Every structure is written in C-alpha cells, then in structure tokens.
C-alpha cells in the first residue's frame, strides 16, 4: 500500500513510500552497544507532502542498497523496520525513522522529483531564541573548504557561507562534512550571482558577540528552492549589485575574501 510518511506507524509492515533522496552520507568508526564496529549509511528522504524522514542502512545492507540509492533521485521503498525515534538526539521526523532490511525492496521512479516546501523561516535577528531552525538567505560569500583532523583520526570538513536576508542582515552559516563538500562545492562553483539557499535544522551559536548558525547531521540544503522567498531575495540581491554604495558595504572585498584565517596566538608569536 502506497503511503505518505506521516501515515507510517512504528513496527508497521507491508508499506510502500515514494520519496526523493535529499541527503546521503556515510558514518565511520561507530560501535554498537557490544563494542562491535558498525557501519552506517544515512539518507534523508522527502515525500510528496514535503515531509522528511531518516532512512538507515547498516553493515551488509550498504553493499546491497548503497550504490543504488542516489541523491536527487526518487524511489518507491517497500518494507523495512519502522522504529520510534530516540528523543535524546536531534531527529528528522518527530516520531519515527526507518531502517531497511533484507526484505526491503527499492525501485527507482523516473520523471518524478519532490522538493522542500518549507514556508516558516526564522528571521536572522531571532535565531538565538531557538535550538533548531530553518532559514533562507541569499549567498553573499563562499569560503574554501577546510579539513580538520579529529581525535579518532578522521577528518571533518568545514565551509563558511555568508547569507543575507531581505532586510540586509547577514549571518555566517557553517556547513559541515558532506554538506561542506557537496552543496558547498556547488555553491563555490555556481553561487557567484543571485543564489539563494534554504537550510533546515541549523543550530544557532554565539561566540564573542558574533551570532552564527551551523548545519547539523539532520540538515537539508536546497539551492534556489521553488519558493516566493527565493524570487524576492534574488530581486533584492540584483538591486544591491546595481547600488555601488550598498554593494561595497555588504559584500566583502576581494582581499578580505582571500584573507587567511589565523589565530590570536599566531599573531602574538609573530607567525603571520
């Protein structure tokens, strides 16, 4: 029976959902409760109602389904284990998540794609009032990706993006890991003029008076989403590029964009 995500119930069997994959990423160096190594591939999928849910692949199922399931494509997914979410963590859906099993079936649906239809966005001035928010903004600046070695020997990936809203407020967005590498790379290559991004489930931060936002492991990015807000922001950004005074005020200079980030310790020690 073909259903929408919100009609699914924990431990239900015999269901089918048709969804578009909007995020795909692999988690390394995880152990289960017994201390055994565990491989996980996670997907965030979106149905025709604009509702998202997390889909998990564990261990051998990564070889069975991992290469088959591609970001941006739409699939009919039949059967799997529907479990209640662990409320201790951030979750994509408010009640459930799905783990595919050996009995699951997946079929690509060509010619059909579902898109984020979010309408309730947080104003940049109000981000600190919430723990997790959705925002939309015009891309002002994209910095190169940075790789940082973690304690477990892996590398995290980080990329900073400066966003602007309709009121000319700006805020720094930090994209992490697959979002920094994939969506961030696309923005670096294609986001030079009037590009708008929508990002869900970002976390607000404040450090030394500067307010910023960061992607989370359940964030989804949509570039130039099909929304009225997108067209409004594009028009606003076009107007700014025509107004030199406003452009110089808002957009960083070339030298500033190419500036190297250094620590205060390096400055004190004369290393820069």
Per domain, the residue ranges of the chain are 5-108, 127-258
The predicted model gives 241-250 an average pLDDT of 59
Pick the more confident residue, 160 or 2. 160
In DSSP notation, 114-151 reads: ----------GGGGGG-SSEEEEEEEEEEPPPEEEE-T
pLDDT band per the 50, 70, 90 thresholds, residue 263: low
pLDDT of residue 236: 87
Report the CATH superfamily, name and number, of domain 127-258.
Nucleic acid-binding proteins (2.40.50.140)
- pLDDT value of position 133: 95
Domains 5-108 and 127-258 share a fold: yes
Which two structure tokens, joined as six digits, stand for 74? 């739409």
Rg of the Cα trace of the chain? 20
What tens digit of pLDDT does each residue of 16-72 get? 999 999 999 987 667 778 888 889 999 999 999 999 999 999 999 999 999 999 999
pLDDT at 266: 57
Q: What is the DSSP letter of 168?
A: S
Identify the band that residue 117 occupies on the pLDDT scale cut at 50, 70 and 90. confident
pLDDT surpasses 50 at 254 = no
Structure tokens at 207: 């450090």
Query: Tens digit of pLDDT for each residue in 156-194?
Result: 899 999 999 988 899 999 999 999 999 999 999 986 678
CATH code that applies to domain 5-108 = 2.40.50.140
The answer to whether 142 and 161 are in contact (CB under 8 A) is yes
């Amino acid at each position: 029976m073909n259903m929408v995500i919100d009609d699914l119930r924990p431990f239900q069997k015999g269901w089918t959902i048709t969804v578009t994959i909007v995020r795909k990423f692999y988690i390394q160096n995880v152990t289960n409760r017994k201390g055994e190594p565990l491989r996980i591939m996670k997907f965030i999928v979106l149905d025709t109602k604009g509702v998202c849910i997390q889909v998990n692949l564990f261990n051998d199922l990564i070889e069975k389904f991992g290469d088959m399931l591609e970001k941006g494509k739409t699939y009919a997914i039949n059967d799997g284990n529907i479990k209640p979410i662990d409320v201790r963590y951030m979750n994509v859906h408010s009640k459930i998540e799905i783990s595919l099993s050996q009995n699951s079936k997946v079929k690509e649906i060509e010619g059909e794609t579902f898109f984020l239809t979010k309408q309730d966005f947080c104003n940049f001035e109000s981000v600190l009032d919430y723990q997790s928010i959705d925002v939309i903004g015009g891309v002002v600046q994209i910095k190169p990706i940075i790789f940082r070695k973690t304690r477990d020997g892996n590398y995290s990936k980080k990329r900073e993006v400066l966003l602007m809203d309709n009121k000319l407020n700006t805020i720094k967005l930090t994209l992490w890991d697959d979002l920094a590498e994939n969506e961030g790379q696309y923005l670096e290559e294609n986001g030079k003029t009037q590009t708008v991004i929508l990002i869900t489930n970002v976390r607000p931060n404040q450090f030394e008076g500067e307010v910023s936002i960061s992607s989370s492991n359940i964030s989804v990015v949509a570039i130039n989403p099909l929304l009225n807000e997108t067209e409004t922001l594009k028009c606003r950004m076009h107007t700014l590029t025509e107004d030199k005074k406003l452009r110089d005020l808002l957009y960083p200079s070339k030298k500033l964009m190419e500036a190297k980030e250094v620590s205060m310790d390096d400055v004190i020690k004369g290393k820069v």
